[in-house]
Structure 1
């Protein structure tokens, strides 16, 4: 397999699942946020604070295009589909996997995540996060080749389900 792309809201487990899939498939993990931080030598929160969301979204698009031309598991940011250019790009790509979770699960994961700083979540209420998710669900589903429900599943179970779905798509 040359490549697959993980999409979903923040807290859905794209990075963690991407790490496991990368190992299983023997291909690199291309984590877009990490790639942006390495290129800019700035953290994502600093980019948002100093340059704004529009600037970040343009960087994100550039890094997505580079990644789609590489071999690997691509872990996108939760807002990747807010840029219409990314929607069109991902629609024309194979193996796009949406990690879908319930609002309550995602909010709980976001609140309990002490490692990742999330500029749009750190300053939002639960209602604002829920509205943001509601606005994105249809786009996630429209772009995805595979939808994986993450509720009550371990990363291993999610990874196995993805591997099985990919195998079925080959047949």
Structure 2
């Protein structure tokens, strides 16, 4: 009854499918070619803009060199080199029991980056930082944090580990 809707019902339907595949392949190739060509054109334009920027940069460098007057060696005044700013590498404050990533971030924002700085901070100051951060941090007790930090600062890792085994979330029992 519905056999006339089935394209495979007739014996010569294979060439229709083959023709559709060939047309689809040709259309796909044309679309891909146009897309790749427009992408290549935009990349060429971007490259040209970058080359212009490089030329301008090199030209301005030549102008600076040309404007700078030569200095006689005898008249040259040797200025002392500026002392480099001390760069503090932050310590992993999460080593201290009771400090997690969020509290470490709070302390870092307040300028406490190292074990030495945390060891010098009073528990009251640390508590102020926690209270200012919101109710979520009020429950933490920083009473032992400066002492733990002092052990870490001094490299007394075994003593720190032993003490932390006795602590409960940074608090003494």
Fold shared per TM-score above 0.5: no
Higher relative contact order (CA 8 A, sep 6+): 1
Bigger fraction of residues in strand: 1
Q: Larger C-alpha radius of gyration, 1 or 2?
A: 2
